[in-house]
Structure 1
Amino acid sequence: MNLEYITRPSSLQENAPLLIMCHGYGSDENDLFSFASELPEELFIISLKAPFKLEPYGNAWYAINFDAEKGKWSDDEQAKQSRDLISNFIDEACEKYPVNPSNVTLLGFSQGSILSYAVALTYPEKVKNVVALSGYINPNILPSEFTNKDYSNLSIYASHGSVDQVIPVQWAQQTPKFLSQLGIEHAYSEFPVGHGVAPQNFYEFREWLKKHL
């Protein structure tokens, strides 16, 4: 396993639905794991730690240059590396743990959300559901032929804070149109918060997830 992680076992002995969590820039595997105790017991939950260490603490899926103009501020090559690391991790986790490889959900926040979209849109045969919190789709980290892939088994829940000061809500608002053009079943919600997950946001995505497991 090329990524560090923590787990919460499922209440099921075999064929459990797998939920993989991808944290945001500057955070770690403990961040989203705080949701685990409130999520369905049948989920086998794995929370990943991003591969690139930041100083003085925290981790990232790829470098961000905060001084650059929009469009030149993220290291897309590093992002593609992380995309493929997560994809490979799905395969390894499905071999190692008693989970159902046909029922894999990615849950990402911010940078982890951007990566979750990228994994699902690049490798749709590996992912059933995506819960994308406070992120957006970056086409630059998708393969050129992604529009030809079969997304018929993929469902996506996306949400964003309407006053997000880190990732503008306008970027997230492109998501429903993008997914519609690919024929992907999706739900999109906005909440009156900044760059974070409001309680009502959590309850909504939890209900969505229960219906899609």
Structure 2
Amino acid sequence: MTEIPLEHVHVAPDDADAASAVFVLHGRGADEEDLLPVAESLPDDLHVISLRAPDPLQGGYTWYELDLSGGGLHESQPHAAEFRRSLDLVAESVAAATDAYGLDAERVGLFGFSQGAITSLALLLENPATYDWVVGLHGYLPDSHADLAPDGIEGKPVFVGAGTGDRVIPDSRSEAAADRLAEVGADVTYETYATGHGIGREELADVVAFVEARLE
């Protein structure tokens, strides 16, 4: 089996012939098990590969440290060098797992929450051809990628979710990400929910419907 750079959990579908997949990226301080209950709500014919961020943090893991020089948590950005490393590790892990688990490279989705959403949206803009669809919940588009307008982004399905009571990543940052993605041509669904920094039932139901539509 091809070596996969990041530690991960792979949940295979019951259908041995199924080859569609979703790569799941958790938030800061969590781990590869954190979003599995959410992923279990997604269509049964998906391979779920939940990746672990590379750096330990408070009993969990983080994709990068925060650059707070812009004015505190609500204006934070990813630490540039650590973010670059994680982007590369995720991209390498997606490629390796696609080979190792016999996945259809044209039917690979990304599902990220918080730091995982920020990482997912950045990866989409770096290489839109790699991902069939992307879900980014309670995240934002980092400054390092905000000006990218890559070929292949046109019509790419993207779901961006935000919480109106989110005190970690304000919904205004998620809305700005959705607006920019739409501006460069992605097919963006943007929804807000009366929640804080977490995934509620209504948000999950909308995400499931979005993913089901992508797989039809």
Q: What is the TM-score when the length of structure 1 is the normalising length?
A: 0.92
In the alignment, which of 93, 101, 107 is matched to residue 105 of structure 2?
101
> Paired residue for 1:92?
96
Residues 22 and 29 in structure 1, CA contact (< 8 A), matched pair in contact too: yes
Distance 1:152 1:41, change over 3 A: same
Distance of 1:202 and 1:72 partners within structure 2 = 26
Distance of 1:203 and 1:210 partners within structure 2 = 11
> Paired residue for 1:13?
16
Residues 157 and 188 in structure 2, CA contact (< 8 A), matched pair in contact too: yes
> Paired residue for 1:77?
81
The residue matched to 1:30 in structure 2 has which SS?
A: coil
CA-atom RMSD, angstroms?
A: 1.8
The residue matched to 1:136 in structure 2 has which SS?
A: coil
Is the counterpart of residue 45 in structure 1 residue 80 in structure 2?
no
Is the counterpart of residue 30 in structure 1 residue 30 in structure 2?
no
Superposed counterparts of 1:185-196, under 5 Å = 185-196=187-198
TM-superposed deviation, 1:150: 1.8
Residues 3 and 50 in structure 1, CA contact (< 8 A), matched pair in contact too: yes
> Paired residue for 2:131?
127
> Which 4+ stretches in 1 moved above 6 angstroms?
none
Distance of 1:139 and 1:157 partners within structure 2 = 20
Once the two structures are superposed, residues 72-124 of structure 1 have per-residue CA deviations (whole angstroms, 9 ceiling, x without a partner) of 65302211111111111111011101211001110000000000001111011
Number of residue pairs the alignment of both structures matches: 210
Is the counterpart of residue 170 in structure 1 residue 172 in structure 2?
yes
Distance of 1:96 and 1:103 partners within structure 2 = 15
> Paired residue for 2:119?
115
In the alignment, which of 193, 196, 208 is matched to residue 206 of structure 1?
208
The residue matched to 2:64 in structure 1 has which SS?
A: coil
TM-superposed deviation, 1:3: 0.3
1:183 maps to a residue whose letter is G
Distance 1:81 1:153, change over 3 A: farther
1:173 maps to a residue whose letter is E
Deviates more, 1:198-207 or 1:63-72: 63-72
Identity %: 27
Residues 66 and 76 in structure 2, CA contact (< 8 A), matched pair in contact too: no
TM-superposed deviation, 1:28: 0.5
Mark the runs of 5 or more structure 2 residues left unpaired by the alignment. Answer: none
Q: What is the TM-score when the length of structure 2 is the normalising length?
A: 0.91
TM-superposed deviation, 1:154: 2.0
Mark the runs of 5 or more structure 1 residues left unpaired by the alignment. Answer: none
